[in-house]
Structure 1
């Protein structure tokens, strides 16, 4: 049975904020499916990372902002990699967020992530009291290419051939669950950059404006490519081999900052 959904599912909609805030820690609401179910990400279930792959203007930035904001509200910290330098300005001044835009800053942040990953994996105590770390990468494919070129510029004799920033991201994908580090990857994870098993690290795949080839590569377990909707904010969310047509939550920059800082819209 198909449910009629609003053309836009706004964070300001009645009861939606309360529904989001009632979710258990490690979960974030993606949106509402056309059969009326709440479709959420559960980081502690199966693979601990999220893949978002859309065509140009398909809404990937909206998904990254919404999911990252929800985990921040639960007490997580975040590293937001924003190669356009303008897509995630909401993240720049939040105390538990590191926002990086240019390639040098992204490189250094990911090298720092490698150190943090190692620190977490060698802690004597449990990680229950260590904040979850969300690594949100917008336009990831272009970013990985830029990182590879950047490393070629500075690599010295005896340095590894692969960019240490890219290696750090790959390590985070492999050890994410154990270290409470979770990647939200906007793009198509090419095996040449992240290894042949890159796709397997993502239990939740969120698709919009996809080609049949993209569906076949990223969501083969869900059967043939599904018909795409023309509704703004409509995605296909693939989990456990099942695709759910879903109207995603829209959170504006101002709403995210206001929610996370306790400021009213008038004060932002």
Structure 2
């Protein structure tokens, strides 16, 4: 097992993201203030590691988690845990996103908050590639439901954590200002200047080092993060709530 220290969120409304590179303090995301998370980075930069950690922390806090993993390789170690649903194929992805959207809108219409639910979408650009490949109109329509999930979910305990490049953000309507003002962003590694500009992140804060990133809250400045890799055994232990510092 890895000896990587695992930051803990001491409040179930907070998700632990990593450690501040400048102060050494644990960094958490307050879901009450910032209900959604967008990550951007290059392959191998640590984005999937961050989303795995976010999913595990959410499970440990009692949330139910739906994971969309188009490559089917990053979340297998959590797939059998209570409270987690995994969708990998185009049909599964469309079904799970549609179901999450339906629950979000049901809560929004009724005014019921309900238990926290988290939808994690890894590599949205891989889904876009499938859509562009043709024959996936249902998948395209389902993924476009992520936008109303962001806009309505913030009030009813339904949260989105998504990894995307600029093309995917633009295609699925997630890069607009009315969406981004609801979303905390983490740039991992050194993404393109175009997406950093869209997210309002200073390129000077980024690093090409794996496992480092920059967190920016809407209207705020960037904060440099270290996000350590967790081995599968540690990740499962974290999700089950049995990790102790």
Normalised TM-score (structure 1): 0.78
The reply to whether residue 42 of structure 1 matches residue 30 of structure 2 is yes
Partner residue of 1:259 out of 224, 230, 238: 238
Q: Which one of 116, 120, 123 corresponds to residue 139 of structure 1?
A: 123
Count of matched residue pairs = 236
> 1:175 and 2:148 equivalent?
no
Is contact 1:54–1:207 with CA below 8 Å preserved after alignment? yes
Contact 1:80 1:135 in 2 (8 A): yes
CA RMSD of the aligned region, Å? 2.6
Summarize deviations over 1:201-251 as a string: whole Å, max 9, x none.
3123333221222211222xx4x4215434331112222421122111332
Match in the other structure for 1:158: none
Q: Which runs of 5+ in 1 are unaligned?
A: 1-9, 155-161
SS at match of 2:73: coil
Contact 1:29–1:67 at 8 Å: present in 2 too?
A: yes
Kept in 2, the 8 Å contact 1:82–1:99? The answer is yes
Is the partner of 1:84 in helix, strand or coil?
coil
- Which residues of 2 match residues 106-255 of structure 1 at below 5 A? 106-123=93-110, 126-127=112-113, 130-147=114-131, 149-152=134-137, 163-188=140-165, 190-194=169-173, 196-197=176-177, 198-219=179-200, 222=201, 224-226=202-204, 228-239=206-217, 240-255=219-234
Summarize the alignment of residues 25-36 of structure 1 with structure 2, pairs less than 5 Å apart. Answer: 25-36=12-23
SS in 2 for 1:190: helix
Q: C-alpha distance in 2, partners of 1:192/1:131? A: 31
Q: Structure 2: which 5+ runs fail to align? A: none
> In the superposition, relative to structure 1, how do residues 12 and 175 fare at CA in structure 2: closer, same or farther (>3 Å)?
farther
Q: Note the alpha carbon deviations across 1:13-43, whole angstroms, 9 max, x for none.
A: 4xx44x505x212212211222213222111
